[in-house]
Amino acid sequence: MGHIRLTGVKKCFGDVMVIPPLDLEIEDGEFVVFVGPSGCGKSTLLRLIAGLEDVTEGVVEIDGIEATSLPPAKRRLAMVFQSYALYPHMSVRKNIAFPMKMARIPQDEQERRITDAARVLNLTDYLDRRPGQLSGGQRQRVAIGRAIVREPSAFLFDEPLSNLDAALRVGMRLEISELHKRLATTMVYVTHDQVEAMTMADQIVVLHAGRIEQVGSPLELYREPSNLFVAGFIGSPKMNLIAGPVAAKYNAHTIGIRPEHIDVSANSGLWSGTIGVSEHLGSDTFFRVNIHGLDEPLTVRTDGEIGLRYGDTIHLTPNPDHLHRFDAQAARLA
């Protein structure tokens, strides 16, 4: 079980409305990622689900039961914090056991679950250490261990990987995804890293200034962003957005084309320009191209070996099947 439904949920801090009324439904077993720029209200939304903040208006339902005014302890949710929030005065074993102690689970059952969790999370050798004696990655594992032993109806993660270095982050990302496959428990995951969002999510919720811009699978968001914000936010490098007369030719206020959907040629094409900065990643090369008649340079992707370099003239043709059109209100045109 782990079905979460928000209806008309609104949150104000004093006079400031951080989250205007929104509706959201999270299905049982889904991996849902909240993504958006810093300060858009991702953590606040997660904390509203957790019960760590009170909603100003609206209804929170968990597994069909109204939970709006239930304290966090009664919601059967587990949370992993960005700061890990381990109990510094307890050993790893006691940290992991704490939620079970609170739930008054019998001692031998506690032992069994700790052993299991420690094996899965590679913590067996560290059970008697204090959190202060662990590395960042190990602390993160303890926090996850503490969350899984209770067998909650959903997991809430608030940017759990942002304190880890890049290599560790990729590893932990896979571990969390695997955990989700194995447990099949609902997970709500907050991040501002759209790569994390794309790689882990079943459903992505794109937030912007407290509003839900779009909800969909990673591919839906990639293929059919419903507005300019999502178009610019999802995808790396960013989608090229072109306004003005060029867009008007396509009957749109703004058109968008991803770097990987532009054909590059040395001889002929729809647009021509000169190559500026280039980034070689081995498999791919990204060029910044200054197009004649456009203010902003475009980013294009080509495969690694192409005999063009800085200052060369280049011709570009957008792939019409992957061209996105937006109206003056920034909404997608069909």
Partner 1 sequence: MARSVTTARKTANTIVAGALGLLMFFPVLWIIILSFKTEGDAIKAPLEILFNTGWTTESYGTVQARSNYFKHFSNSLIISLGSTFLGILIAVPAAWAMAFVPAKRTKDVLMWMLSTKMLPPVGVLVPIYLIFRDLGLLDTRTGLVFVLMMINLPIIVWMLYTYFREIPGEILEAARMDGASLREEVIYVLLPMAIPGMASTVLLNIILAWNEAFWTLNLTAAKAAPLTAFIASYSSPEGLFYAKLSAASVMAIAPILIMGWFSQKQLVRGLTFGAVK
Ligand X SMILES: Nc1ncnc2c1ncn2[C@@H]1O[C@H](COP(=O)(O)OP(=O)(O)OP(=O)(O)O)[C@@H](O)[C@H]1O
What does the binding site for ligand X look like in residue numbers (CB under 6 A)?
13, 18, 36, 38-44, 192
Closer Cβ to ligand X, 113 or 192, answer by number? 192
DSSP state of 297: P
Residue number with the smallest Cβ distance to Mg ion: 43
Q: Does 89 bind partner 1 (CB under 8 A)?
A: yes
CA atoms within 13 A on the CB side of 126: 23
Closer Cβ to ligand X, 36 or 131, answer by number: 36
| Percent of the chain that is helix, strand, coil (3-state, to 5) | 30, 35, 35
Q: Which is nearer to partner 1, 129 or 325 (CB)?
A: 129
139 is a site residue for partner 1 (CB under 8 A): no
CB 284, min distance to Mg ion, A: 31
Q: How far is the CB of 71 from Mg ion (least distance, A)?
A: 22
Among the listed ranges 50-58, 182-190, 204-212, 289-297, the one in contact with partner 1 (CB under 8 A) is: 50-58
CA distances from 246 to 178, 249, 295 (A): 45, 6, 11
Rg (CA), the chain: 24
Q: What is the DSSP string of 173-229?
A: HHHHHHHHHHH--EEEEEES-HHHHHHH-SEEEEEETTEEEEEE-HHHHHH--SBHH
Binding-site member from 7, 98, 129, 301 for partner 1 (CB under 8 A): 98
- CA-based torsion, 248, 252, 253, 256: positive or negative: negative
Q: Which is nearer to partner 1, 89 or 280 (CB)?
A: 89
Q: Does 103 bind partner 1 (CB under 8 A)?
A: yes
Structure token digits, residue 160: 């759990």
Residue 42 binding partner 1, by CB under 8 A:
no
Q: Name the residue with tokens 């902003």.
A: 296
Handedness of CA 260, 266, 272, 273 (dihedral sign): positive
Of 126 and 189, the one with the shorter C-beta distance to ligand X is: 189
43 is an interface residue for Mg ion by CB under 5 A = yes
Q: How far is the CB of 208 from Mg ion (least distance, A)?
A: 14
- Closest CB to ligand X among residues 206, 264: 206
Distance of CA 95 to the CA centre of its chain: 27
DSSP output for 262-273: EEEESS--SEEE
* 69 binds partner 1, rule: CB under 8 A: no
Question: Is 79 an interacting residue with respect to partner 1 (CB under 8 A)?
Answer: yes
* Residues in 169-198 that interact with partner 1 by CB under 8 A: none
Number of residues in contact with Mg ion, rule: CB under 5 A?
Answer: 1
Give the amino acid at 42.
K
Contact between 124 and partner 1 (CB under 8 A)? no
| CB-facing half-sphere around the CA of 12: CA atoms within 13 A | 7
Between 233 and 287, CB nearer to Mg ion: 233
Residue 68 within binding range of partner 1, rule CB under 8 A: no
Interface residues toward Mg ion, by CB under 5 A: 43
Interface residues toward partner 1, by CB under 8 A: 50-52, 71-73, 77-79, 81, 83, 85-89, 98-99, 102-103, 146, 150
